[in-house]
């Protein structure tokens, strides 16, 4: 039993490049693991209003939690860069276990806001490692000719994780009212996935993965070359080799491009409930459309980019379309009459545009890293993951300055809405009285001067005789004293915030559109061709070299085969 445990539960190394069936199975496990982990990471976005109310926290505190989790993920991304030395699979397997236990048992039992924040940071740390380890695994098992399809499938991790969160929340929040249930559902799913990965996930040996493989025809060459590779020499000075403009600049560009994605993860529910009055279930329903459109597009476009043989045109077209649709989406912020159906169309097109660019970008980025050193793919992805988390953290620090209206609307808006729904006439009467007069009546309900002033204000505002105005003033006493005090203390602030919120959100969506514009020129630094004819010429030249190497391999006695290249 101990030998079996050592081999299958820790040593996951494959010393031969797998056939198509097992290779597809390993890819599937890596993708499913990332879906589950992102599902756990993104639960907070689906129940944001409930979290703010349960822990009595401000929107700024909520964002600070996201910033801390992003910082933890940034640190973890750099740690995961050591996967080029230590391997990738165990980071995924044991990370799944840690995140799932925290999500199932830790976060739902958090006694206060600080404990909740600390536990979310733990999940963020794990997610930062997985952000590096899973795409590295996917790259290892996917030759470049199928890289677009493989990265399209990997991109399903964060996309399907978000879709699962939205789908579960939209179908359960109406009858599972506790936000803790959403975390427990995600956590239990993760424990099941951990057991699957524990017994099935494998990875290539360093000698096999430290090479650039263009097609499956090269399996024999890859295995032959592996005998001549000095693994330690290949990963020497790993950070110096990868910290270059061709890696860092595209990483910054895609991070800015993804601002709208992270806003959707963290704030779509808050945005649609606070600005347009949708319920949490309805807002999560919109999320279903957003993530479903993304999920379909990333896979289809990944396959197309492999078939055509180029990535950059897809990235550029998707990026331009994303800019256009983000501008359309931003314009709706100040149009409160925008229907649910209109948002379904707008956000589906916006999400599809993003997906059109993102899966080819991931394929092109890994090929860019391979061009520098195929032995340091995880290091290159670690730099990307670190940059991404830093950009997200900075963005979430800025959002409270741009959208300052969220806290009063989310924290106090629901109670104000409930009071208004129960006492609509009385609340309307109170709104007709100026704050000074209301304060005088609150201090002394029998203040004749205040009563006369209030009757005059009601009569003038509602165009009724003084006698009817007095009747309406008396009816205000039907509202409980605590509710009247709440209206006096928070009503003006909430109403003012509601007026400001649409314009503030529109500004943030414009910032996201700006990030997409900055992203576009960074595409020039990625590896790959713009024209299919040029890509076909490159592929033909590569086939000729491979054919020559294969011929030489078959002619060379086995004992003397020891190629020394890593590319």
User: What phi, psi does 267 have (nearest 5°)?
Assistant: -130, -5
Q: Identify the pLDDT of residue 510.
A: 95
490: domain range? 414-496
Q: 487 in a domain, yes or no?
A: yes
Which regions in the chain score pLDDT beneath 50?
1-5, 559-567
Q: Whats the size of the chain, residue-wise?
A: 567
User: What phi, psi does 309 have (nearest 5°)?
Assistant: 95, 5
Q: Identify the pLDDT of residue 133.
A: 83
Residues 6 or more apart whose CB falls under 8 angstroms from that of 63 comprise 266, 396, 397, 399, 400
503 shares a domain with 486: no
Give the integer Cα–Cα distance in Å for 299 and 359.
8
Looking at residue 13, the DSSP 8-state letter turns out to be: E
Mind spelling out the 3-state secondary structure of 22-86? HHHHHHHHHHHHHHHHHHHHCHHHHCHHHHHHHHCCCHHHHHHHHHHHHHHHHHHHHHHCCHHHH
Q: Identify the pLDDT of residue 3.
A: 42
Yes or no: say if 126 and 98 are a contact pair by the CB < 8 Å rule: yes
Q: 560 in a domain, yes or no?
A: no
364 shares a domain with 250: yes
307 shares a domain with 430: no
Q: Which two tokens stand for residue 216?
A: 């499956």
Q: Identify the pLDDT of residue 555.
A: 62
Q: 148 in a domain, yes or no?
A: yes
Q: 294 in a domain, yes or no?
A: yes
388 shares a domain with 466: no
Q: 558 in a domain, yes or no?
A: no
331 shares a domain with 267: yes
386 shares a domain with 472: no
Give the integer Cα–Cα distance in Å for 567 and 455.
86
Report the CATH number at residue 274. Answer: 1.20.1250.20
Q: The whole model's pTM is what?
A: 0.75
Give the integer Cα–Cα distance in Å for 525 and 519.
11
Q: 162 in a domain, yes or no?
A: yes
Q: Please, is 120 exposed, middle or buried when counting C-beta atoms within 10 Å of its C-beta (0-12, 13-18, 19+)?
A: buried
Angle at 262 between CA 51 and CA 306, to 5 degrees: 140
388 shares a domain with 374: yes
85 shares a domain with 9: yes
Distance set, CA 230 to CA 226, 563, 565 (Å): 9, 11, 9
455 shares a domain with 356: no
- With CA atoms as reference, report the closest residue to 251 among 147, 132, 402: 132
CB-side neighbour CA atoms (13 Å) of 317 = 12
Yes or no: say if 51 and 180 are a contact pair by the CB < 8 Å rule: no
Q: Identify the pLDDT of residue 194.
A: 92
What is the C-alpha radius of gyration for the chain, rounded to an integer number of angstroms?
28
Yes or no: say if 481 and 489 are a contact pair by the CB < 8 Å rule: no
333-381 pLDDT, tens digit each: 998 889 999 999 999 999 999 999 998 998 899 889 888 877 777 888 8
31 shares a domain with 68: yes
Q: Identify the pLDDT of residue 319.
A: 95
Q: Which two tokens stand for residue 263?
A: 């806003």
Yes or no: say if 157 and 37 are a contact pair by the CB < 8 Å rule: yes
Burial 219-243 (b: 16+ CB within 10 A, else e): bebbbbbbeebebeebbeebeebbe
- With CA atoms as reference, report the closest residue to 377 among 240, 202, 238: 238
Q: Distance from CA of residue 76 to its chain's centroid?
A: 16
204 shares a domain with 80: yes
Q: 563 in a domain, yes or no?
A: no
Q: Which two tokens stand for residue 85?
A: 């030395």
The number of folded domains in the chain is 2
Q: 38 in a domain, yes or no?
A: yes
Yes or no: say if 120 and 140 are a contact pair by the CB < 8 Å rule: no
208 shares a domain with 106: yes
Residues 6 or more apart whose CB falls under 8 angstroms from that of 335 comprise none
């Amino acid at each position: 039993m101990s030998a079996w445990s050592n081999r299958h539960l820790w040593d996951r190394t494959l010393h031969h490049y797998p056939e198509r069936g097992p290779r597809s199975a390993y890819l599937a496990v890596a993708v499913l693991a990332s879906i589950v982990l992102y599902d756990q990471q993104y639960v907070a976005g689906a129940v944001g209003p409930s979290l703010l109310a349960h822990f009595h926290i401000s929107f700024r505190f909520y964002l600070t939690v996201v910033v801390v989790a992003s910082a933890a993920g940034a640190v973890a991304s750099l740690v995961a860069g050591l996967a080029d030395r230590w391997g990738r699979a165990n980071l995924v397997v044991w990370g799944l276990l840690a995140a799932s236990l925290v999500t199932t048992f830790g976060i739902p039992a958090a006694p206060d806001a600080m404990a909740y924040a600390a536990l979310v940071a733990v999940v963020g740390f794990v997610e930062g490692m997985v952000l590096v380890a899973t795409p590295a695994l996917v790259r290892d098992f996917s030759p470049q000719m199928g890289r677009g399809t493989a990265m399209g499938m990997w991109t399903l991790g964060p996309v399907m994780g978000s879709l699962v969160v939205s789908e579960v929340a939209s179908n359960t929040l109406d009858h599972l009212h506790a936000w803790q249930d959403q975390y427990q559902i995600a956590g239990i799913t993760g424990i099941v996935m951990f057991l699957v990965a524990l017994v099935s996930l494998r990875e290539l040996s360093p000698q096999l993965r430290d090479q650039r493989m263009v097609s499956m025809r090269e399996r024999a060459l890859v295995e032959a070359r592996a005998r001549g590779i000095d693994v330690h020499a290949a990963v020497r000075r790993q950070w110096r080799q990868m910290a270059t403009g061709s890696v860092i600049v595209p990483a910054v560009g895609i991070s800015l491009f993804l601002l709208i994605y992270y806003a959707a993860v963290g704030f779509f529910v808050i945005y649609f409930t606070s600005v347009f009055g949708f319920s949490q279930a309805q807002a999560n329903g919109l999320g279903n459309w957003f993530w479903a459109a993304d999920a379909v597009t990333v896979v289809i476009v990944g396959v197309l980019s492999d078939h055509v043989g180029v990535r950059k045109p897809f990235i550029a077209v998707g990026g331009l379309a994303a800019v256009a649709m983000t501008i359309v989406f931003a314009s709706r912020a100040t149009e409160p009459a925008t229907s649910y159906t209109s948002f379904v169309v707008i956000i589906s097109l916006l999400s599809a545009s993003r997906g059109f660019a993102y899966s080819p970008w991931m394929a092109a980025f890994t090929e860019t890293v391979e061009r520098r050193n195929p032995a340091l793919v995880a290091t290159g992805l670690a730099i990307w993951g670190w940059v991404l988390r830093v950009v997200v953290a900075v963005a979430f620090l800025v959002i409270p300055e741009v959208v300052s209206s969220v806290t009063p609307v989310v924290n106090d808006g629901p109670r104000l809405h409930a009071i208004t729904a129960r006492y609509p006439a009385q609340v309307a009467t109170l709104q007709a009285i100026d704050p000074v007069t209301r304060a005088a009546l609150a201090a002394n309900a029998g203040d004749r001067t205040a009563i006369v002033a209030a009757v005059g204000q009601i009569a003038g505002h509602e165009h009724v005789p003084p006698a009817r105005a007095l009747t309406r003033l008396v009816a205000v006493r039907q509202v409980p004293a605590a509710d009247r005090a709440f209206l006096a203390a928070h009503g003006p602030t909430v109403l003012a915030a509601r007026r400001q919120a649409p314009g503030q959100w529109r500004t943030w969506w414009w910032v996201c559109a700006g990030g997409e514009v900055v992203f576009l020129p960074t595409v020039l630094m990625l590896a790959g061709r713009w024209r299919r004819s040029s890509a076909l010429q490159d592929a033909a030249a590569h086939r000729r070299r491979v054919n020559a190497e294969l011929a030489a391999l078959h002619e060379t006695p086995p004992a003397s085969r020891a190629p020394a290249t890593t590319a």
